[in-house]
Every structure is written in C-alpha cells, then in structure tokens.
Amino acid sequence: MIFEERLLAPGPVPISPQVRAVLARPAMHHRTAEFRTIFVRARERMAHLLAVPGDDVTLLAGAGTTAFEAAFLASVPPGATVVAAHAGKFGERWSLLARRYGHPVVDVSAAWGEALDPAAVAAALRATPGAAAVTVTHSETSTGVLHDLEAIASAARQAAPDALLLVDAVTSLAATEVRPHAWGLDAVIAGSQKGVMLPPGLGFAWLSERAWARLPEAASRHPSFTLDLHAERVRQRQGDTSITPPVPLVLALDLVVGELLEYGIEAWWALKADLNEAVLAGLGALGCPAFAERPSPAVAAVRVPSGLAAPQVGDALLRCGVRVGGGQDHLAATTLRPSVLGHVDAFDALTIVAAFERALHALGSGIEPGAGVATFQARWLASASAARHERPYV
C-alpha cells in the first residue's frame, strides 16, 4: 500500500515513530529487574502526568472501561445507591455498569451536546441521601463536550460530602487540565489509546486516599479476581503485577509520558486546545458548526451541512485518506468527530480541514475550497501555541 490512511479520530490515535520503535523491540520478561525499573518509573511518570505526584496510578491490562470498573469495585459498596451524571454515550455507560452490579442508580442528565449543570448534579445528590458515589465523564467523546468538572466536583462535594466522585478522564487525560487533588476528585481513570498516544491495551486508575480507605476489607467489596485494585496496588508498589502486563505498552508508556512531561503538560494542554479551536474554526467556515456547547480539546464534533448525511461525508473523507470518528447513536446521520488527540501536530490538524474541503466539494456542497484552510491558518497562527510548536525539530 503506497498511501497511508490518516487516523484523525478521538481514539485510537496516531502513535509516534519513537513509540513504534519501542513496540518493535525484542520481547522482555516482566519478572526481571530491568522491567521492574521501567514499570516503577512509568507509574511515577503517570502520577506526574495526572498531577498526583507520589500517588499510586495503577496500570491494568485492558481499556478505559476496565479501569473504571476496577475503581468502582474498589470503592463503592455492594448495593449502595449511585448517582450517574451524563449527557452522552460514555457517561451513560457508568450508569449501565452500576446497574449491572445491582446498584440502584439515580440518573441526572442533560441533552447530548449540552454541558452538565453542576447545580443539577448537586440537586440530585441532595435528593438522594446516602448516595455512595457520583459518576461523571469529563470529556464526553460522543458529543464533544468538556463538562466543567471542577464546578461539578465542588457542587457535588458541598451537596453530599461523603459521596465519592468517580471520573472518566478517558479523553481528557493528557488533552486538558485535570487536577484530582485541587478539584477534590476520588477516582480518575483513563486508557492508553487516547491522550497518552499509545495503542489500546492499558487502563489507568487513580484513587484518592478517602476512596482507598472506603472499603479496606475484601469481604466488603464486590468480589473480583483480576480487577482487585487494592491487591494490585500492593503488587505494583513492588514493581510487580498480579497478571502478565502488556510489557511492550508499559515500555512505550514510560517513553511517551517522559516526553510529555519534558514538553510540559500545561503547554501540551494549550497546544491541544489551540489546535482543536483552529479545526473547529476551519470546519465552521465550511458550514460544519461545532456540535458541543462547551467543546473538549479532544474531539471536534461538528454537524455536517444540511442536505448531506454524515456517513456520506465520512466516506468522502476516507477517499481523501482521512478517517475521522463517526457520529454516535442518534447523532450518526448528522455529526462527525475528527480529533487532534494523540501524536497529531498542526499540519495533521490542517489536514482535517483540507480533507473536509475536498470531501464537501466532491459532494457538490458548493463550498469554496480554501475557505476552511485559510480560517484554520489565521486562527492557528494567532494562537499562543503556534510559536512554540513550530520551532525547528531536533
């Protein structure tokens, strides 16, 4: 195949040549001093990336959902009531998960595309005395909304000081600001195939000290063998895992998180936000407005022009060599979800807009080719990240 498809979707994301080189290394055994050193360092680096230096970030073979499930089982007592705050497909997942384990669930929702109202979350908690936990998805990848997690956390803590706040940061980690301690979060989970720019296969889970302390006895928790976060924490502190870890992914995690920290995580968040805003501006100039009320830097969800079906535009983009995320559920016909998540630079982001221009032009939408690219360029070049990002590569 001479031409390469460009993956510009909100996960899995493109990975760097350096990561690919690590993944191609000869196999390493995990019960070795060499692996333990790298494993311990990768965990420490993850703790810095999550702004919780010195805390445990537990690595799990699996995905973001695996990590959420493990965090839930570690901290929510069987039978306890859960408040699930959601305004999209991924937020709804945590309501389904809690129900699957037999928990009574109180849903507090907003329309897809809207941001959750912190006051509504607080009201639901006040109306649910004894709720053990509230679940929330920070960056709702199905709608492109970045919920105001800091405000939700503060409102939730005031309304129900004892309820744990369990946060899905699957597409917000390493894409935008997440401050577990400062915001009073109790669990933060993510997966490898998003902001940390690796292939799928690893989940990450951080718990607050009060969440760890909630169910110290195994008998007080839902039984689970491979998802026992408490046991895993003990093993991982020693550089070990209970089950065989995805060794190549751990080696790559160590590398890529080291690079992110060296770049500077705040500069990285700014970069992703600036790129995403430029993409949204460029697509807006093509008649594809942002779908989200409060856009997440992780996903540029847009409506396609009326008269066109989103899958048709998606197919035309593929013919230009660009794969973006499709719309989800009832948004499938009207929205598309390109993304600057992962190993994506300004020219990759520009490619999203250029490909939309070609696709829409090919579909006879009457747009002016160049209008989106010009808007992108103006917005990006005016951004604070542009000067820093476009330094010569070394």
Ligand X SMILES: Cc1ncc(COP(=O)(O)O)c(C=O)c1O
C-alpha 127/C-alpha 125 separation (Å) is 5
| 137 near ligand X (CB under 6 A) | yes
| 339 near ligand X (CB under 6 A) | no
Q: How far is CA 120 from CA 84, 131, 240, in A?
A: 12, 15, 43
Query: For residues 198 and 363, which CB has a smaller minimum distance to ligand X in the complex?
Result: 198
| 348 near ligand X (CB under 6 A) | no
In whole angstroms, the minimum distance from the beta carbon of 272 to ligand X comes to 15
Span from 38-46, 47-55, 69-77, 165-173 in contact with ligand X (CB under 6 A): 165-173
Give the position of tokens 């689970």. 224
Given a contact cutoff of 8 angstroms between Cβ atoms, the answer to whether 3 and 322 are in contact is: no
Say if strands 6-7 and 322-323 run parallel, antiparallel, or are unpaired: parallel
In whole angstroms, the minimum distance from the beta carbon of 202 to ligand X comes to 9
Query: For residues 145 and 155, which CB has a smaller minimum distance to ligand X in the complex?
Result: 145
In whole angstroms, the minimum distance from the beta carbon of 366 to ligand X comes to 34
Output the six-digit token pair for 208: 């607050």
| 246 near ligand X (CB under 6 A) | no
| 206 near ligand X (CB under 6 A) | no
Query: For residues 173 and 346, which CB has a smaller minimum distance to ligand X in the complex?
Result: 173
C-alpha 167/C-alpha 137 separation (Å) is 6
| 291 near ligand X (CB under 6 A) | no
Query: Angle at CA 212, nearest 5°, toward 206 and 216?
Result: 145
User: Which residue from 11, 239, 287, 338 is in contact with ligand X, where contact means CB under 6 A?
Assistant: 11
Query: For residues 10 and 239, which CB has a smaller minimum distance to ligand X in the complex?
Result: 10
In whole angstroms, the minimum distance from the beta carbon of 172 to ligand X comes to 8
**How many Å from the N-terminal Cα to the C-terminal Cα in the chain?**
29
Given a contact cutoff of 8 angstroms between Cβ atoms, the answer to whether 324 and 356 are in contact is: no
Burial tier of 161 (Cβ tally within 10 Å: 0-12, 13-18, 19+): exposed
Rg (CA), the chain: 21
| 191 near ligand X (CB under 6 A) | yes
In whole angstroms, the minimum distance from the beta carbon of 95 to ligand X comes to 13
In whole angstroms, the minimum distance from the beta carbon of 370 to ligand X comes to 33
Pick from 85, 68, 184, 188: nearest CA to 128: 85
Give the position of tokens 């000869």. 26
Pick from 28, 48, 58: nearest CA to 187: 58
| 69 near ligand X (CB under 6 A) | no
Report residue 60: phi and psi, to 5°.
-130, 140
| 208 near ligand X (CB under 6 A) | no
| 171 near ligand X (CB under 6 A) | yes
Span from 19-27, 58-66, 174-182, 268-276 in contact with ligand X (CB under 6 A): 58-66
| 64 near ligand X (CB under 6 A) | yes
In the complex, the residues that contact ligand X under the rule CB under 6 A are: 11, 63-65, 90, 137, 139, 141, 168, 170-171, 191
